[in-house]
Structure 1
Amino acid sequence: MSVAEARGVPLRVLSYNIHSQRDDTAALAAVVRAAAPDVVIVQEGPRRFRWRSKSATLAASFGLVVAAGGPPSLGNLLLASLRVRVRGTRCQRYPLTPGRHLRGAAYADCQVGGVRFLLAGSHLSTDPAERPAQAAAFKRELAAATLPVIAGADLNEGPDGPAWRTVAEGLTDAALAADRADRHTYSCADPRRRIDALFVDPRITVVDYDVVDTPQARRASDHFPVLVDLLLPVAG
């Protein structure tokens, strides 16, 4: 085992609300490709007519492949590089509040460098009355995982909100771990809030964290992407 392997297996993660690809899609692809992630956790991905081909086209524009998600998870999409092996997937739908949008989550059992982890993504409601129950449903799945968890989400509230605290409990907030919680993720036009987060199992080391704020990112979506470098724990 090399010295690097003894410390952990590196993994680069991007979590990104892509605003249903309503903005500059060429800029969107350029932002993701420049980040060179191993996995991307997408919110507001393709979820309606021809969603499979649209998801595949989106992934290809990033230089990645589809791992999990789509309409069964209501627009949450997990993408992966060929470095990552996907061993299993599942989707979750939160209970529907009449008159509101459906929300859900996507999960993938992944492996890289001989290390397995659970990749998860969700997008909570804009309605503060709905978010706590959705956060609790997401958290139950994360808490039941036997693998180290990597969870990216657009929580639609900041760290002082109850839904955020529910999801964050027992996990490491990557921004706090890197002492960069002052980096706002929304909106690109007027960034004043951190509502997009990446949470990881405490056994996972946060090496670096960034909110990608570039001219291209400001054209690509209404959210900035969260980019995190991790070291996954090696057993033994």
Structure 2
Amino acid sequence: MTPPRVPLRVLSYNIHGQRDDTAALAEVVRAASPDVVVVQEGPRRFRWRAKTAALASSFGLVVAAGGLPSLGNVLLTSLRVRVTSTRCRRFPLTPGRHLRGAAYADCLVDGAARFTVAGSHLSTDPAERPSQAELFKRDLAAAPHPVIAAADLNEEPGWPAWAVVAQGLTDAAVAADRTERLTYSCADPRRRIDALFVDPRITVRDYDVLDTALTRRASDHFPVLVDLLLPADG
């Protein structure tokens, strides 16, 4: 008998600090109807709590974790998802560089399947990225439930930091045979630098990079939308 599986829709999105068309941004996310949104470049400075709550409300979701403690990485969920615990990390600062971090949430969907969702945004500096990837990967390895990890890695498949994070996990684009779908930039798509990885126990049903007139107005990155099947508890 096949064990029961629980569907989950996850959207990973670098929203460019909400510096573009925020109405288009909200419309994109609402139309996708995700259960979980992993945000990069979300609110992280003055009044970040209120801004994060407003962002979640514009998407029709609630705040799970992140913001200033994770330096702009934010996890949002629908009411299908119950968040049981959260944590944030800041990567060590290299002088003269931008601060980076990660957010994590342990979750239960439909009261039937547990998972850990993680979001991060690695440095644009190739010298910094591998050590940040190692810390992110260490946290993923310590997660108590099957992992869903989404990140703007700022590099492409096969590069050192990407390889560190991907080890032992399933690249959703590879699983769906959609590696040709580029995520950056909306003005001139040339690179796949936004990734979503899952525990091998999780099935990738579908994967897409949403390239529409709205997404080209909403941010400088395209959003990554993935449909998953999670193993049910017990």
What TM-score do you get using the length of structure 1 for normalisation? 0.97
Query: Matches of 2:118 and 2:233 in 1, distance apart?
Result: 22
Query: Matches of 2:107 and 2:76 in 1, distance apart?
Result: 11
Q: 2:125 is aligned with what amino acid?
A: D
Aligned to 1:138: 136
Query: Matches of 2:210 and 2:157 in 1, distance apart?
Result: 19
Helix, strand or coil: the match of 1:99? coil
Q: Which whole-Å deviations, capped at 9, do the CAs of 1:145-178 have from their partners, x for residues lacking one?
A: 1210000000000002100000000000000000
Query: Matches of 2:179 and 2:40 in 1, distance apart?
Result: 21
Q: Which whole-Å deviations, capped at 9, do the CAs of 1:119-158 have from their partners, x for residues lacking one?
A: 1000000000000000000000001112100000000000
Residues 111-150 of structure 1 aligned to structure 2 (within 5 Å): 111-113=108-110, 114-150=112-148
Helix, strand or coil: the match of 1:129? coil
Aligned to 1:67: 64
* Residue among 182, 185, 201 paired with 1:184: 182
Q: 2:141 is aligned with what amino acid?
A: A
Helix, strand or coil: the match of 2:132? helix
The alpha-carbon deviation at position 68 of structure 1 amounts to 0.1
Helix, strand or coil: the match of 2:95? coil
How much identity, in percent, do the aligned residues show? 79
Query: Matches of 1:97 and 1:6 in 2, distance apart?
Result: 47
Q: 2:45 is aligned with what amino acid?
A: R
Query: Matches of 1:145 and 1:52 in 2, distance apart?
Result: 26
Helix, strand or coil: the match of 1:30? helix
Structure 1: where are the runs of 5+ without partners?
none
Query: Matches of 2:214 and 2:4 in 1, distance apart?
Result: 34
Please tell me whether residue 38 in structure 1 is matched to residue 35 in structure 2.
yes
* Residue among 189, 196, 206 paired with 1:208: 206
The alpha-carbon deviation at position 6 of structure 1 amounts to 4.3
Number of aligned pairs? 233
Q: Are 1:7 and 1:231, in contact at CA under 8 Å, matched by a contact in 2?
A: no
* Residue among 170, 173, 188 paired with 2:171: 173
Query: Matches of 2:174 and 2:219 in 1, distance apart?
Result: 24
Helix, strand or coil: the match of 1:147? coil
Aligned to 1:87: 84
Q: Are 1:171 and 1:200, in contact at CA under 8 Å, matched by a contact in 2?
A: yes
Query: Matches of 1:178 and 1:230 in 2, distance apart?
Result: 11
Aligned to 1:230: 228
Aligned to 2:157: 159
Q: 1:49 is aligned with what amino acid?
A: F
Query: Matches of 1:200 and 1:162 in 2, distance apart?
Result: 19
Query: Matches of 1:173 and 1:67 in 2, distance apart?
Result: 24
Query: Matches of 2:137 and 2:3 in 1, distance apart?
Result: 30
Q: Are 2:9 and 2:225, in contact at CA under 8 Å, matched by a contact in 1?
A: yes
Query: Matches of 2:221 and 2:233 in 1, distance apart?
Result: 36
Query: Matches of 1:235 and 1:54 in 2, distance apart?
Result: 35
Aligned to 1:102: 99
Query: Matches of 1:44 and 1:52 in 2, distance apart?
Result: 14
Helix, strand or coil: the match of 1:209? strand
